[in-house]
Chains A and B, each alone.
Chain A
């Protein structure tokens, strides 16, 4: 009988993930440090009345680093390393089908993401002066971050599964990481300021809306969510196709 995703497998994946020091630094420490540095620099030239809003916007933007570092880069690096050593194959030979493995990995990653987001929230609230959010706005941000994380997970798993080597996978996911940062206004240039064709591409990504526009409804203001929902569907579908192709490529052929 095929082994299903179970608590033991999830604990194994949490141990496996925790053994990767990359995600501890880039997924937990780095976003906090970045938000502190950028906040202190950005508020120097901002009127006192605007400071709280600017800092809050920066904190929302920098929260995107958590799923990007943990799922897109950290997970892709870890999993491609496993593929290179044929570890998933050994798991399959011991009766864990790919769906169980991927589910356990996803749950473990989401648990780690939750801890990282909690640490980030505590650090930001304790160290910075932030606007108090409307409850629904906060929930929308958290749900958006989880959705983005799941999409990045699918993307990272699919890319690693197709490329099968640590080097090429790392190049692709690292390039995507910086591309997303650039397009979504995390590298100092607002998405609105990008040249038109690039701006069009940027606004197909949910991260662009989170980074640039979530501050607009942070305290309960009205907001048109349709473009955000469409961007989630677009990126989710793209990641889903890549994941599906990777499953198909790696299927077992037994008559």
Chain B
């Protein structure tokens, strides 16, 4: 295993930013998606593992800091020179002599930006600049904290496609923090759900989905007709504009889908929807916490 976190507590002043009571283990080749609302403790977790913030508890690892690569939420560089010089210095190499770096620059279509200063790059170019260098580190453990935040939909999609494609078949462990559930569906095989500095759950994506959503879910628009039509089925919590129905087995799923087809209702079927899964995980967590408080 790469990292073990036990009884971690991070405090900013009197406020507890993160509290992890059950051990969390990051193993080689893991692809961990970290989700949670603002202030959930996602970036604090990354900073704690990287040793960039003070904490109580134990984070044990055989990795030295240089074996962890990180694309942080905010990545700034000096603007006194062209990014080419920054890249060559940070990676301690020369672009013209490094085939792998040339490939990455070309893969991310960054050739035209090498002569520009960092402040002159667009948001997407800035993200690609850091990603290229983080990938070049080829670290056993790599963090991507909000790698696509602030980018438009198309740029986000393209960037994620390239990231997914690049890491396919590679054994680097990744910890990906994101607000975008669809990105994690593509990249992560384990999910860590955080809420107000506490761990809601941590397991494989598949097991968490089974635990909170069942075998599969069917999602449709939240209209009066659809609510009436699906009232016999088990509803899950979902964003206001949607209805999410849990199907515990194939028969139930078949029955629901046949009904929807018969009534000509549009729907989406999923067995890995992280958004619905996390909403219901958080709900159950709050209920259990409330129950414990009442007791």
A contacts, CB < 8 Å to B: 1-3, 6, 8-9, 11-12, 15-20, 82, 85-87, 89-96, 252-255
Contacts and interface: CB of A to CB of B under 8 A. Distances in A.
A254 B133 CA distance: 23
Contacts of B133: 94
Interface string B80-100: 110001101111100000000
B65 A92 contact: yes
Contacts of A11: 89
B137 interface: yes
Q: Which 9 A-B pairs have the closest CB atoms?
A: A19-B80, A85-B76, A252-B51, A254-B51, A12-B89, A95-B66, A94-B90, A15-B81, A253-B51
Contact of B81 (A16, A89, A252): A16
Given A8-B89, A8-B92, A252 B65 contact: yes
A221 B54 CA distance: 57
B110 interface: no
Nearest to B70: A93
B286 interface: no
Residues of B in contact with A, size category: 20 to 34
Nearest to A8: B89
B137 A252 contact: no
A148 to B, nearest CB: 25
A86 B72 contact: yes
A253 B69 contact: no
Interface in B30-68: 50-55, 58-61, 64-66, 68
A22 to B, nearest CB: 12
Interface in B122-153: 133, 137
A255 B92 contact: no
Nearest to B48: A253
B75 interface: yes
Contacts of B76: 85-87, 90
A119 to B, nearest CB: 21
Given A15-B80, A17-B80, A19-B80, 10 more contacts: A1-B66, A18-B80, A19-B78, A86-B74, A86-B75, A89-B72, A93-B70, A94-B133, A253-B53, A254-B59
B72 A252 contact: no
Contacts of B50: 93, 252, 254
A38 B16 CA distance: 59
Q: Which of A1, A82, A90, A96 has the most CB of B within 10 A?
A: A90
B267 interface: no
B180 interface: no
B91 A94 contact: yes
Contacts of B70: 93
B107 interface: no
B75 A90 contact: yes
A18 B85 CA distance: 14
Nearest to A13: B89
B85 A255 contact: no
A60 B266 CA distance: 85
B77 A90 contact: yes
Nearest to B94: A8
Nearest to B86: A12
Contacts of A90: 72, 75-77, 90
Contacts of A12: 81, 85-86, 89
A91 B50 CA distance: 13
For A3, A8, A17, A91, which residue has the most chain B Cβ atoms within 10 angstroms?
A8
A94 B137 contact: yes
Contacts of A15: 80-81, 85
Contact of A93 (B58, B69, B91): B69
Contacts of B52: 89, 252
Nearest to B63: A254
Contacts of B55: 253
Contact of B61 (A20, A85, A254): A254
A19 B78 CA distance: 10
Contacts of A6: 92
A87 B52 CA distance: 14
Nearest to A85: B76
Nearest to A95: B66
B267 to A, nearest CB: 45
B60 to A, nearest CB: 5
B128 to A, nearest CB: 15
Most buried by A among B51, B65, B76, B80: B80
Given A18-B80, A87-B77, A90-B76, A254 B65 contact: yes
Contacts of A254: 50-51, 59, 61, 64-65
